[in-house]
Amino acid sequence: MPKILTIVGARPQFVKAAALSRALKKHGIEEVLVHTGQHFDENMAEIFFRQMEIPQPKYNLGINSLSHGAMTGRMLEEIEKVIVEEKPSVLVVFGDTNSTLAGALAASKLHIPVAHIEAGLRSFNMKMPEEVNRILTDRISKYLFCPNENAIDNLKSEGFENFDCHIINCGDVMYDVALYYSKVSAEHSTIVSDLKLGPGKFLLTTLHRQENTDDPAILASLIFTLNKLSERYNIVLPIHPRTRKIIESRGLKLNFNPIDPVGYFDMIELLKHCAFVISDSGGLQKEAFFFEKHCLVIRNETEWTELVEMGFNFLTGTESAKILETVNNLGRHNVKFDKKPYGDGNAAEKIALVLKNIN
């Protein structure tokens, strides 16, 4: 039976790891979890392990608050030590973070096969650190677990069929997680009543991408837009510590009160009850779809193009006029959320069955 070394570091990876860990345990596969420490805030890290019954990491590297190069380098160094100690059969990474790339590089250099979950996604914007991370990780991975057909097509167009790798459309582990935890989220979360939010009377938003927070003009425009929308809706903004610090340092004023980062059950309940979502997050775009809510993507590109093409999500960019116009037109969209572009909710099971047969 193989030994799996799983690397996690950021909120979405904790969520995905929950689904995979359950499937691995079901098949009796040994898993060693490594937490790089990339997200270290209590509400953005430890709460996920407690709430979602993820096995406690055997290793917590505590690496955070560094530049991209320094962070990735430190992670690479420390993950390499763990690989030498544990001698895994395969190393699993998720998504597109510095933790993802560092884990993949460390394993590749030690000739340990890499399994990349969420392979093949592309924004086609090489200025995004996430795009660089995901492309490089795909290239050095042996097992490319893709969440949808678009991801498969991206890999084929880049010549991956000529590489020594396995391309697998397994569906999206985030859909597994959404289905599993939506049944119990109300038992673990009182956030909607605590915040006195009426169903469909508030909008849920996130704001953390560097291209949005680090550009003063873009950030000011987005804050102006949210303030304008606060005249019509309650705004629920779980704010990333880094984003809060930047807003305060630039003297920008919010006409509403952001909230601290929330756990996954809280986020599910907010998604269930909100009117719609405005976000620059990659994962929340999909999660909105899972809970049948439209999402305005405040970026110039998205990895989830199929959701835009099918009329569920809207790529608005960051200009205030475009965002406000899209909000005003939401009532005209009567799209049924009856398509299943991300599988049937058994992605983790499919991944576990492949990993089970690795020697």
Catalytic residues: 208
What does the H/E/C string look like for the chain?
Answer: CCEEEEEECCHHHHHHHHHHHHHHHHCCCEEEEEECCCCCCHHHCHHHHHHCCCCCCCEECCCCCCCHHHHHHHHHHHHHHHHHHHCCCEEEEECCCHHHHHHHHHHHHCCCCEEEECCCCCCCCCCCHHHHHHHHHHHCCCEEEECCHHHHHHHHHCCHHHCCCEEEECCCHHHHHHHHHHCCHHHHCCHHHHCCCCCCCEEEEECCCHHHHCCHHHHHHHHHHHHHHCCCCEEECECCHHHHHHHHHCCCCCCCCCECCCCHHHHHHHHHHCCEEEECCHHHHHHHHHCCCCEEECCCCCCCHHHHHCCCEEECCCCHHHHHHHHHHHHHCCCCCCCCCCCCCCHHHHHHHHHHCCC
In this structure, what token pair is assigned to residue 348? 């983790």
**Could you give the angle at which helices 173-182 and 347-356 cross, rounded to 10 degrees?**
130
Contact assessment for residue 237 and residue 226, using Cβ atoms and an 8 Å cutoff: yes
Spatial separation of the C-alpha atoms in residues 45 and 37, rounded to whole Å: 8
Spatial separation of the C-alpha atoms in residues 175 and 172, rounded to whole Å: 5
Strand, coil or helix: 359: coil
